Structure 1
Amino acid sequence: MNFGNFCITDTLRRYRKDRSGHFAVWFALLGLPLLASASYVIDYNRALDTKADLKGALDAAALAAVSKQNISESERAIYAQDYFNENFAKANEFKLSIDNRSAKKVQLSATGRSPVTIAAALGIKDIVVSEDSSAIVTSENVVCVMTLNPDGRESFSVYSGARFRSPTCAVQVNSNHPEAAYVSSDSSAVAKDFCIVGGGSGSFSPYINTECSPLQDPYINKVAPAAGPCVSLLGANVSVKGPTMTIGNNVVMTPGTYCQNVRVSGKNVRMLPGTYIMKDTEIWMRNGSTLDAESATIVLEGKFARIYVEQGSVFNLSAPKTGPLAGLAIFQNRAVSLNDSNKLPNGSSSISGGSKMSIVGTVYLPTQTIEVYGDSGYDNTSPATAYIGYNVSLGKGANLAVKVDHSTAGLPPILPRSDEGARLVQ
């Protein structure tokens, strides 16, 4: 067939011999797989980003849930789910499994699918993404200050230029009040941890942990020795007037039950090792006095029993290393120290400005407020001390430094232990 100078037969013959256009044909045939492969790399990287976000959300939810100690297991599961939903943008596309929801360990896992684009044309529908996380509560903190007030405001307070320092131990505040702990702007409080059942405000370092549960009083079942016959100290430097016994220079006190208020006004006063029961009486270190007591426990018994350390006095007390009161320097007999109405606190024991007091062991005043105020150089040298009171208050320039090296002190381990926090284990 010939159309003028155009011959169809010749044209077909030349086309069969021509190879220059076959690349386009092959490219057309291979283009879709190549494009799908390239897009799958992008899809896979997107899935890796989703996996990283998923891991972060699971870790955060596990830590938050196990730190929430004051809720039931079912509530903890709901809390973990809500926390996960709030912190993972694709939460509705993933199934969260709560494999462990106990107060000691929370274990979470989640599975979902990351979509693909052009790769779907090759039968690849999506990419499975899964992750898991576990967090546990660590309970290795030694508590060196503990307040037992269950619902009071400012159960632990530091104000008016006071300073509190316990970098190796924790503060436990059992009050569930929204303002259970307070540090004023001109004061400071430093501890390994501040575990507050309720809430608080102020200059805490680190900031308070408000996800804590109350700790049980470690000495609630401790029984104090029974009171015996009243001690009568004799000597030229001991005077008795009415209900008060005044102790002057160089007096050696003996263990036993003291039924009169004790005023230590002299220097070089010493307590022999043993138990000193203050039966409904006060023991008062007056200005300029010095009292040293080694391997001794002062027991406050009765609703009027108190201990006061005045400005300018020096009081050094170390607890017994063995025996029923081992580690206890000052012990209040809770059973016989409540007032008629059982309203708490029912009094306070205090350290005044300018006094120097070193206590090795635990001060246990479960129904009283422990007060430290007025430029007190308090416990800067003691290797191991703990304070357990109904409330604890530092004010007016007080300076309280606390350490808990019981091994150096030769005492039993300081109690109690607190929830340090949470850490990831997976």
Structure 2
Amino acid sequence: MTALLSPVLLGFVGGAVDFYHWSNENARLKQLSDTLATRGAREFLLANATSAQVEAVVASVLDSGFAHSYGFSAVQSKVTINRDKGEVTVDLTSEPARALILSNFEPFKEKLKTTSTAVALGGMNVCVIALEDSGGGSVAANINSQLIAEECSLISNSSSTQGVVSSGLSTIEAGMICSAGGALGGSSNFSPMPTLDCPVYDDPLAEREPPHVGACDEYDAAYGERLDEVLTAATNAAVTEVTRTVDDLTGGLTGGLTGGLTGALLGGYTTYNLSPGVYCGGITIGAFADVKFASGAYIIKDGALNADLGARITGENVSFYLVGDDATFYFGPEAKIDLTAQKEGPMAGILFFEDRHAPADRVHRILSDDARNLLGTFYLSRGVLSVASLLPVADQSAYTAVVAKKLNMTGSPTLVLNVDYNDTDVPVPEGVGPVGGTTYLRE
């Protein structure tokens, strides 16, 4: 009897084990689809998120190997979006694991399938998030600086009693100023006065996947002329003119110097057209260089993106990923900067994305007096965005958002953070723009 019943008993035990694993697989696939639907729906908390952007976010999460953490080697997905209702439905399909007993029986031999729908509700505008957790001046306006963000919120995570600083003749104007610690400055420096002891606001872009960094396409790229070379050329031109004007030394000196400088500084720009890729050693843009960035993602690796005196850079639907210890950006005085972030893909809405393993407190500088259009988000989770221009910055952008360790302004700059989200098709990344709403799963 034992010999006769053993196969039956083994069949029951094997079947029970198979059923447990099959049920567990279905549950894990459901959890995965719930997570993907929720992440996609959270994009609708942003003012102008598109269906393509929601699909790109879901695809990016899957491409990052997220499904492997749930135990699936391959998953087929379908994303259905109802933008009017703020709904995202994710359908997932996966092959079941090979079973001991039940693989030849229905429904265990069929593909695993599940569906989840998430809905987004609510939202408010956030345009500055300073991630510094303890140091003073995580947001600082000094001397005669102006930070104007009248229709959005400014958030500082620093527990310091001087987490937000507005000193001298500086002013910070925002819809709300919220400090996890304290603030330094009086009623003439803030509008409104900061709300203190606010909850810490988590990095809203912590889950955003950075772009893939491949092999180098360019090394130590440099365009235009160095300032010292320009001045040397101007001086040489002046000396040459003096030599030719022996009969009138004074006139020759004056005319030669003026003519030499004018000729050097008005010698005309050379246009350089750059393509997306990996720029190892950074990019240096000097005088008389008019650099046009074609749409796409640019990896600035192990070097800086420098726009020096007299440089011009323009780019529509571009994003820059800064990776390596020396990867910063510098927009010098008299440089013309006109940039808008990508519309689609994992970098959509992000203008600058700093590697999360970068050295802490690196400084990224905007000194340009002609950086009126910087449309997108500065995501510098390890760095400091320093603004020290003389004329307004970003005031002609439909929107500009800053998520950085620190935001520091000194001198007499005016940084304007608009929130005209409906005036552009560049989406606002998850967690900035209109946030504070909720998402829920609909059965």
The structure-2 alpha-carbon separation of the partners of 1:235 and 1:374, relative to structure 1 and needing over 3 Å to count, comes to: closer
Please state whether the residue corresponding to 2:151 is helix, strand or coil: strand
The structure-2 alpha-carbon separation of the partners of 1:283 and 1:196, relative to structure 1 and needing over 3 Å to count, comes to: same
Aligned position for 1:99: none
The offset of 1:139, in angstroms, is 7.4
The offset of 1:267, in angstroms, is 3.9
Q: 2:171 aligns with which of 188, 191, 202?
A: 188
Q: 2:380 aligned with 1:380, yes or no?
A: no
Q: Give 1:399's aligned amino acid.
A: T
Q: Give distance in 2, aligned partners of 1:151 and 1:267.
A: 42
Aligned position for 1:314: 336
Q: 1:331 aligns with which of 314, 330, 353?
A: 353
Aligned position for 2:74: none
Aligned position for 2:297: 275
Q: Give distance in 1, aligned partners of 2:299 and 2:207.
A: 18
Please state whether the residue corresponding to 2:422 is helix, strand or coil: helix
Aligned position for 1:167: 150
Q: Give 2:191's aligned amino acid.
A: S
Aligned position for 1:251: 272
The offset of 1:353, in angstroms, is 5.3
% identical equivalent positions: 24
Q: Give distance in 2, aligned partners of 1:224 and 1:303.
A: 16
Q: Give 1:251's aligned amino acid.
A: Y
Q: Deviations over 1:12-68 (max 9, x none)?
A: xxxxxxxxxxxxxxxxxxxxxxxxxxxxxxxxxxxxxxxxxxxxxxxxxxxxxxxxx
Within a 5 Å distance, the mapping from 1:9-408 to structure 2 comes to 140-202=123-185, 203-232=189-218, 249-265=270-286, 266-334=288-356, 336-337=357-358, 339=359, 344-345=360-361, 347-352=362-367, 354-408=369-423
Q: Deviations over 1:190-222 (max 9, x none)?
A: 111101110102111011011410111111122
Q: TM-score, normalised by structure 1?
A: 0.59
Q: Give distance in 2, aligned partners of 1:189 and 1:235.
A: 38
Aligned position for 1:36: none
Calculate the aligned-residue CA RMSD, in Å: 2.5
Q: Give distance in 1, aligned partners of 2:428 and 2:405.
A: 22
Q: TM-score, normalised by structure 2?
A: 0.57
Is this contact kept in 2: 1:309–1:355, CA < 8 A?
A: no
Q: Give distance in 1, aligned partners of 2:436 and 2:150.
A: 16
Please state whether the residue corresponding to 1:403 is helix, strand or coil: coil
Is this contact kept in 2: 1:353–1:398, CA < 8 A?
A: no
Q: Give distance in 2, aligned partners of 1:382 and 1:236.
A: 28
The offset of 1:405, in angstroms, is 1.9
Is this contact kept in 2: 1:367–1:389, CA < 8 A?
A: yes
Please state whether the residue corresponding to 1:299 is helix, strand or coil: strand
The structure with the largest alpha-carbon Rg is 1
Is this contact kept in 2: 1:281–1:306, CA < 8 A?
A: yes
Is this contact kept in 2: 1:166–1:402, CA < 8 A?
A: yes
Q: Give distance in 1, aligned partners of 2:370 and 2:154.
A: 24
The offset of 1:236, in angstroms, is 11
Q: Give 2:163's aligned amino acid.
A: A
Q: Deviations over 1:275-329 (max 9, x none)?
A: 1001121000111111001111011012221000000011111111111111111
Please state whether the residue corresponding to 1:407 is helix, strand or coil: helix
Aligned position for 2:97: none
Q: Give distance in 2, aligned partners of 1:305 and 1:405.
A: 30
The structure-2 alpha-carbon separation of the partners of 1:328 and 1:237, relative to structure 1 and needing over 3 Å to count, comes to: closer
Please state whether the residue corresponding to 2:218 is helix, strand or coil: coil
Q: Give 1:178's aligned amino acid.
A: T
The offset of 1:140, in angstroms, is 3.9
Q: Deviations over 1:125-168 (max 9, x none)?
A: xxxxxxxxxxxxx9743111111001111111001111110111
Is this contact kept in 1: 2:375–2:397, CA < 8 A?
A: yes
Q: Give distance in 2, aligned partners of 1:399 and 1:292.
A: 21
Aligned position for 1:28: none
Q: Give distance in 1, aligned partners of 2:203 and 2:312.
A: 32
Is this contact kept in 2: 1:159–1:396, CA < 8 A?
A: yes
Is this contact kept in 1: 2:323–2:355, CA < 8 A?
A: yes
Is this contact kept in 1: 2:221–2:281, CA < 8 A?
A: no
Is this contact kept in 1: 2:273–2:294, CA < 8 A?
A: yes
The structure-2 alpha-carbon separation of the partners of 1:372 and 1:362, relative to structure 1 and needing over 3 Å to count, comes to: same
The offset of 1:333, in angstroms, is 1.9
The structure-2 alpha-carbon separation of the partners of 1:408 and 1:196, relative to structure 1 and needing over 3 Å to count, comes to: same
Aligned position for 2:105: none
Q: Give 1:359's aligned amino acid.
A: L
Give the aligned length.
269
The offset of 1:371, in angstroms, is 0.2
Please state whether the residue corresponding to 1:191 is helix, strand or coil: strand
The structure-2 alpha-carbon separation of the partners of 1:408 and 1:234, relative to structure 1 and needing over 3 Å to count, comes to: same
The offset of 1:398, in angstroms, is 0.8
The structure-2 alpha-carbon separation of the partners of 1:215 and 1:236, relative to structure 1 and needing over 3 Å to count, comes to: closer
Q: Give distance in 1, aligned partners of 2:397 and 2:391.
A: 14
Is this contact kept in 1: 2:291–2:314, CA < 8 A?
A: yes
The structure-2 alpha-carbon separation of the partners of 1:264 and 1:192, relative to structure 1 and needing over 3 Å to count, comes to: same
Q: Give 1:314's aligned amino acid.
A: K
Q: Give distance in 2, aligned partners of 1:235 and 1:227.
A: 17
Q: Which runs of 5+ in 1 are unaligned?
A: 1-137, 241-247, 421-426
Q: Give distance in 2, aligned partners of 1:251 and 1:302.
A: 25
